Structure 1
Amino acid sequence: MEILERWVGQYQDEMVREYTFVNDSGMTVSCLNFGCVITKIMVPDRQGKFENVVLGFEEFEDYLDLSPYFGAVVGRVAGRIQGARFELDGQEYRLAENQPPNHLHGGKKGFNSVIWKTEKIVEEHAVGLKLFYLSPDGDEGYPGNLETTVTYLLNNKNELSITFKGKTDQKTLVNLNNHTYFNLSGNLKRDCSEHILQLESDRFLELGADLIPTGRVLASRNTPFDFQHGRRLSTGIQSSYPQNVLVGKGYDHPLVFTKEGENTVMLSDEESGRSLLVTTNQPCVVVYTANHLEAPYSISGVRARNYLGVCLETQGFPDAIHHPAFPTVILEPQDLYYSTTTYRFFANTLGV
């Protein structure tokens, strides 16, 4: 196992580097010290052919100008916060309105657009990177100095684990995720509409017209949001169900896991034979089918278009601060924020 490193650009007088982790079976994971962006994941299909299974750019500068959070860590709080404001202990905090009138994915300069300090990890059966960032008190409007550590670790089981830890000196909000867009067809040969998603969830959060949870938790049974036995993403993309239509014909919803503790998500592409098993300690996963990705630019030589990738954003409930019934995302000074998710890639050897 090894770690490769190369210089890819410069951002605000700091060097931007790409690190590539290589395991003994040839799987590779590449990431930047800018935004903790995962740029490539190379895994084999059923024929043993290695191809990239995430959306990303070849040139660093494109992440500054074009990226809809490709592969990035988003925070301090993932998702939207209604009205770009919240109260803690009777004090109001106003956040950056980067999606007026709301706050999205940590603000105008969230965790996705800063340089992180790095420390390489080399173990007997795993390699990876620790990334560190101190978000100062008042950063994008949030209270408290927040020390954040992100750990990417690749092992010989073709598993990539992502672990978040956070420590604050003042009560604040924290809800981090990784915003990678997956496409298991390999090198973006097809879109993700025929990918099959299966997960342990029987409820989802209803969204309002502003794409923020209304507070209602809906049963998924007999709707396009029932993935317990596996469902093609196309069934939601093509559905006339109001919640699918609302988000641009597809999914952009938090799916609530059926139990607390460890939960799993399975994403599969029958044609390539590739599957992705996601295991997480988080209470929900936001499934986003890239309903608004169409744009006049290319992603690794492929024109940006809707449904070209699917995000599986394991996290706490979005806008939880405004819904007391939701699990809290408040972090107290005496507590440690801890979130962990593992992505295991494999390919079946059976014919399609």
Structure 2
Amino acid sequence: MKHAVMFGSFCLIMAGLASTGAQAAEATRASFGHTADGQNVEIVTLTNSRGVQARVMSYGASLQSLLVPDRDGHLADVVLGYDDLQGYLDRRQYFGATVGRYANRIAHGSFTLDGKHYQLTRNEGPNSLHGGNQGFDQKVWQVVEVKQGPNASVTLQYISKDGDQGYPGTLTVKATYQLSEDNQLKIAYVATTDKPTIVNLSNHTYWNLAGEGGGTVMDQVLTIPGEAITTVDAASIPDGHIVPVAGTPYDFRAGKPIGRDIRDGSSQQLLFGHGYDMNWVVSSKEVESHMVARVQDPHSGRVMSLWSSKPGLQFYSGNFLDGTTVGKQHHIYRQGDAFVLEPQLFPDTPNRPAFGSARLAPGETYRNTIVYRFATDGGRVVTH
């Protein structure tokens, strides 16, 4: 009897291990090509038991593709981009990329920190955008760790030297992409410095919940629980004003199709950005992680909710996709074929003390954890 009990317990343990293994997400690693100077670019594929698959590229620590199911369980890639590395090298469009050292815009590409003036490289007229001429999106990051298990992940690292693009301090940055069994993709950014600097990291994925190449996103329903926006001038630089969204085309609090008010010619902000390209105030300061956006595609039934602790959310409606980009599967990307949602600090914060602080000092740790939760209509998660 004793042996029978022991054997039964052994079987239960083995069954439990087998069950755990069946539910474990997988991670594989391969080469994706080489840069012009011979650097090897890796791609790590994370796949869960539901068939959801994220491909993360070491060039720009970028989300290269993400397969998620629709309401009928059919998988589609909901991330714009290219099928091979050369497309990313030939044209800088920030597809899926990690942007920094400072995401978004800095007026005149300059700021003062601790009484010292710093001049950055300028890549958008007189201003600096997403880190300047050679931002983090154009760097080959090092893959430092790949994990299997219930939450498969890949961690990438880039060390930005003191003076890189004009920024002070050597900044060590890590980006961890993690895929869970409940169809949740998490991107955790962590950074430290050896002397005072400014930091604002985010992810610049272009999303289309109908599937990349699936046409316009104008009928996809967007919710942003932001009460105000930071208005900008003609160069997309904040003018210092924070304006309530109530009664304006920028009011997404109750949720509405992206394209409902995008052609409102009475809105100077829409004219400046050729559509939506502005920062929503989702909180007055950094708070506990909360939902900062939700998007639903009425045709496929896919739903994406976005979570972060950052006070700002830049929403961009793909205004400058002009039909000259041939992306994955030879799809032509046109205006309004994708949207971008970037949780971050407010743009030009280093020059706007009223917006808060982007300062990072030695001994401190910068963090921005972005979580994308995928479901289908009614919150029902479809298995593959």
**TM superposition score category, shorter chain reference:** over 0.9
Task: Note if contact 2:235-2:272 (Cα within 8 Å) is conserved in structure 1.
Answer: no
Distance 1:221 1:319 in 2: 24
Q: Check 1:197–1:65 CA distance in 2 against 1; reply closer, same or farther (3 A cut).
A: same
Name 2:273's counterpart in structure 1.
247
Q: Residues 86-132 of structure 1, C-alpha deviation per residue, up to 9 Å, x if partnerless?
A: 11122111110112211110011110011111133425311011011
Pairwise CA distance, 1:161 = 0.4
Query: SS of the counterpart of 2:86?
Result: helix
Which 5+ residue runs of structure 1 have no aligned equivalent?
none
Question: In the alignment, does 2:246 pair up with 1:221?
Answer: yes
Query: SS of the counterpart of 1:144?
Result: coil
Give the alignment partner of residue 325 of structure 2, picking from 294, 297, 306: 297
Distance 1:187 1:167 in 2: 35
Q: Residues 2-60 of structure 1, C-alpha deviation per residue, up to 9 Å, x if partnerless?
A: 11222221112211111110011110000111101111000000111000001010121
Q: Check 1:179–1:138 CA distance in 2 against 1; reply closer, same or farther (3 A cut).
A: same
Taking structure 2 as the reference length, the TM-score comes to 0.88
Name 1:5's counterpart in structure 2.
29
Q: Residues 272-331 of structure 1, C-alpha deviation per residue, up to 9 Å, x if partnerless?
A: 100101111111110000101114231112112111110000111110011110021111
Question: In the alignment, does 2:351 pair up with 1:322?
Answer: yes
Give the alignment partner of residue 135 of structure 2, picking from 78, 87, 110: 110
Task: Note if contact 2:213-2:333 (Cα within 8 Å) is conserved in structure 1.
Answer: no
Distance 2:119 2:255 in 1: 41
Taking structure 1 as the reference length, the TM-score comes to 0.96
Task: Note if contact 1:134-1:145 (Cα within 8 Å) is conserved in structure 2.
Answer: yes
Task: Note if contact 1:200-1:258 (Cα within 8 Å) is conserved in structure 2.
Answer: no
Say which structure is richer in helix.
2
Query: SS of the counterpart of 2:261?
Result: helix
| Structure 2 residue identity aligned to 1:282 | K
Distance 2:367 2:175 in 1: 10
Which 5+ residue runs of structure 2 have no aligned equivalent?
1-24, 380-384
Pairwise CA distance, 1:66 = 1.9
Query: SS of the counterpart of 2:32?
Result: strand
Question: In the alignment, does 2:48 pair up with 1:19?
Answer: no
Question: In the alignment, does 2:166 pair up with 1:137?
Answer: no
Task: Note if contact 2:213-2:332 (Cα within 8 Å) is conserved in structure 1.
Answer: no
Distance 1:123 1:2 in 2: 5
Q: Residues 130-164 of structure 1, C-alpha deviation per residue, up to 9 Å, x if partnerless?
A: 01111000000000010111110000010000111
Q: Residues 150-183 of structure 1, C-alpha deviation per residue, up to 9 Å, x if partnerless?
A: 1100000100001111101111010000000000
Query: SS of the counterpart of 1:140?
Result: helix
Distance 1:70 1:336 in 2: 27
Task: Note if contact 1:236-1:244 (Cα within 8 Å) is conserved in structure 2.
Answer: no
Give the alignment partner of residue 334 of structure 1, picking from 335, 339, 363: 363
Name 1:262's counterpart in structure 2.
289
Give the alignment partner of residue 207 of structure 1, picking from 226, 232, 236: 232
Q: How many equivalent pairs are there?
A: 349
Task: Note if contact 2:27-2:148 (Cα within 8 Å) is conserved in structure 1.
Answer: no
What does 1:151-162 correspond to in 2, within 5 Å? 151-162=176-187
Q: Check 1:47–1:349 CA distance in 2 against 1; reply closer, same or farther (3 A cut).
A: farther
Distance 2:313 2:354 in 1: 18
Asked which structure has the greater CA Rg, the reply is 2
Distance 1:346 1:188 in 2: 21
Task: Note if contact 1:46-1:349 (Cα within 8 Å) is conserved in structure 2.
Answer: no
Say which structure is richer in strand.
1
What does 1:30-69 correspond to in 2, within 5 Å? 30-69=55-94
Pairwise CA distance, 1:228 = 1.1
Pairwise CA distance, 1:221 = 0.4
Query: SS of the counterpart of 1:325?
Result: helix
Name 1:73's counterpart in structure 2.
98
Task: Note if contact 1:200-1:263 (Cα within 8 Å) is conserved in structure 2.
Answer: no
| Structure 1 residue identity aligned to 2:271 | V
| Structure 2 residue identity aligned to 1:311 | V
